[in-house]
Amino acid sequence: MASASTVTQDLQDAFLSTVRESQEIALGAIKTWVDTVQSFTPAIPSFPMPLIDQLPKPHQVVDNGYEFVEKLLASQRKFAIEALKAAAPLLSGDSAE
């Protein structure tokens, strides 16, 4: 019989695989849509926009957002571990590890 951690890991792997597959399908659809729209959309003229060069690039916004969320998740993980340690005396068993 498989252990609970093995079953959990298998479920997580299957879920992540499904997410990756759906992301690939979505990216394919986006690329197809962009190609289709570009084929019949005229080029948009360029207008001077002051200070536009000071705005972050889209990939920088994504990177900054994910870096923030990674820090937040790490902080929450540390908090959860510390909360379990603090509550260990009330939990049945040897420890909260």
- How would DSSP label each residue in 3-63? -HHHHHHHHHHHHHHHHHHHHHHHHHHHHHHHHHHHHHSPPPPP---TTGGGSPPHHHHHH
Taking only the tens place, the pLDDT of each residue in 18-63 is 999 999 999 999 999 999 998 888 888 888 888 988 999 999 999 9
Q: Is the pLDDT of residue 95 over 60?
A: no
In 3D, which of 52, 18, 88 has the Cα closest to residue 96?
A: 88
Instruction: Specify the higher pLDDT residue, 74 or 3.
Output: 74
* pLDDT attached to residue 41: 85
How far is it, in rounded angstroms, from Cα 41 to Cα 35? 10
* pLDDT attached to residue 45: 83
- pTM score over 0.95: no
| Cα radius of gyration (the chain) | 24
